[in-house]
């Protein structure tokens, strides 16, 4: 696990995930503008009871908020799949 993925996991812990998978897909985007600037491309699959009662956009905002400043530089693209335990 890369250091950046480890930090992402730490930040997302605030959402008390039951399941959390982060895949670094940055190598697939070599030469892309965001990649040249140091931002990575990631796929995130997260299951959390905290998403209950929230639509997809609200769930994404919760994730962006948890990741905070990382969304400005370290993360260029984030493919999100966010579920509640009942949706699994």
What are the 10-residue block averages of pLDDT along the chain, 88 residues in total? 92 98 82 63 97 98 97 92 96
Name every residue whose Cβ is closer than 8 Å to that of residue 26 and which is 6 or more positions away in sequence. 35, 40, 41, 42
Please state the domain count of the chain.
1
The answer, as to whether pTM is greater than 0.85, is yes
- Give the pLDDT confidence score for residue 15 in this predicted structure: 98
The CATH number of the domain holding residue 37 is 3.30.300.90
Rounded-to-10 torsion of CA 21, 22, 25, 26:
-170
- Give the pLDDT confidence score for residue 88 in this predicted structure: 85
In terms of residue numbers, what domain contains 49? 3-87
């Amino acid at each position: 696990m890369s250091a950046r993925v480890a930090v992402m996991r730490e930040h997302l812990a605030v959402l008390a995930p039951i399941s959390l998978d982060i895949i670094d897909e940055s190598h697939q985007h070599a030469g892309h503008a965001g990649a040249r600037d140091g931002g990575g491309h990631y796929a995130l699959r997260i299951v959390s009871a905290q998403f209950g009662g929230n639509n997809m956009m609200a769930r994404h905002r919760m994730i962006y908020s948890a990741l905070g400043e990382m969304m400005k530089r370290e993360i260029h693209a984030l493919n999100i799949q966010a579920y509640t335990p009942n949706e699994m």
